[in-house]
Amino acid sequence: MNKAKHLMQRGTDFLGCETAILCGAMSWISERHLVSAMSNAGAFGVIACGAMTPELLDTEIAETKKRTDKPFGVNLITMHPDLMKLIDICGKHEVGHIVLAGGLPPKGSIEAIKETGAKLICFAPAMALAKKFIRSGVDALVIEGMEAGGHIGPVATGVLAQEMLPQIAQDIPVFVAGGIGRGEAIASYLEMGAAGVQLGTRFVCAHECIAHENFKKAFIKGNARDAVASVQIDPRLPVIPVRALKNKGTEEFTAKQREVANMLDAGEVDMQAAQLEIEHFWAGALKRAVIDGDVENGSLMAGQSVGMVTEEQSVAEIIAELMQQAEAALAGQKAA
């Protein structure tokens, strides 16, 4: 067995696949085609439930099952108003792995997931939370740094990995995410004790990914420094940091915050209305970019590894490339 696969053994045993690379759930992107392609290529696809209704999730899981007989997971957002129904749908389909994203799991949700028989994976952005999750019976953790695309925390992947892997990797399988573009980085996290890795940005330009051509072109053109985190300009108007490629929308968001802050100062709106205006600015924006191809006004969520996305490739090619690079690094050779 090669060394990278050997180091991934704990991750592959846990996921039930050949290569411990998860394609992190990406709303509108991680649907039946990309998810089944990942799993068919020996890695691990995860459906992004996002704001889907239970009926839509039911269909998406069924359609994914038609395309692969390999294991895949479902990512559920903790704030979803129908979270419990979504968990039931996963149970009905005997989904093997559920990933909970977006903050602390509401009361009863961990127990409900475990009752379906699924393994539960949670995001642990800090050590205290990781330990709490381990105590609550969570089966694996993802630690994701601020280089990642989409909603991000404040700490870099390399720092999280150094802080957390030595302390928790022996207790629970840990998957490292954020900013991974090449196999050498995968090799280094495996050597530090990770069970595997999770990538998102690198898979957006897969042939099997349904993202609009314009969205893919923006990724191929984008450099690391173009994938910037959204900035909050007024302490009264909270902005959840999201990493995305700069475009007209990101510029207008800054202007919008300034406009709303001025309205607040002038007493033209109250605090609640002002905060809602900010919150609603990006509503539907990811879909606008991913599905409709509006790369000017939509949200181009992307991680800093976007600079390493240089062409459209098949999922199998991307995985093979990453694994060759990881293997060469572990053998002390230089990859092509």
Ligand X SMILES: Cc1cc2nc3c(=O)[nH]c(=O)nc-3n(C[C@H](O)[C@H](O)[C@H](O)COP(=O)(O)O)c2cc1C
* Residues near ligand X, by CB under 6 A: 24-27, 29, 48, 50, 75, 101, 144, 147-150, 177-180, 198-202, 301-303, 305
CB of 242 to ligand X, least distance (A): 9
Tell the residue number behind the tokens 């691990």, with chain if given.
44
β-pairing, 150-151 vs 140-144, is unpaired
CB of 43 to ligand X, least distance (A): 13
CB of 245 to ligand X, least distance (A): 10
Rounded to whole angstroms, the Cα distance separating 115 from 283 reads 34
β-pairing, 242-245 vs 150-151, is antiparallel
For helices 157-168 and 127-135, the axis angle rounded to 10 degrees is 40
Q: Residue of minimal CB distance from ligand X?
A: 200
Nearer to ligand X, 295 or 302 (CB): 302
Q: Are 111 and 37 in contact (CB under 8 A)?
A: no
Nearer to ligand X, 182 or 207 (CB): 182
CB of 6 to ligand X, least distance (A): 24
Nearer to ligand X, 61 or 177 (CB): 177
Nearer to ligand X, 177 or 274 (CB): 177
**How many CA atoms lie less than 13 Å away from 88 in the CB half-sphere?**
7
Nearer to ligand X, 147 or 226 (CB): 147
CB of 201 to ligand X, least distance (A): 3
CB of 187 to ligand X, least distance (A): 16
Tell the residue number behind the tokens 């949700």, with chain if given.
109
Nearer to ligand X, 148 or 315 (CB): 148
Residue 256 in tokens: 């919008």
Rounded to whole angstroms, the Cα distance separating 159 from 162 reads 5
Rounded to whole angstroms, the Cα distance separating 248 from 194 reads 38
CA atoms 99, 101, 104, 105: torsion sign: negative
Nearer to ligand X, 8 or 285 (CB): 285
CA 200 to chain centroid: 6
CB of 272 to ligand X, least distance (A): 26
**Can you give the three-state secondary structure of 131-152, one letter per residue?**
HHHHHCCCCEEEEECCCCCEEC
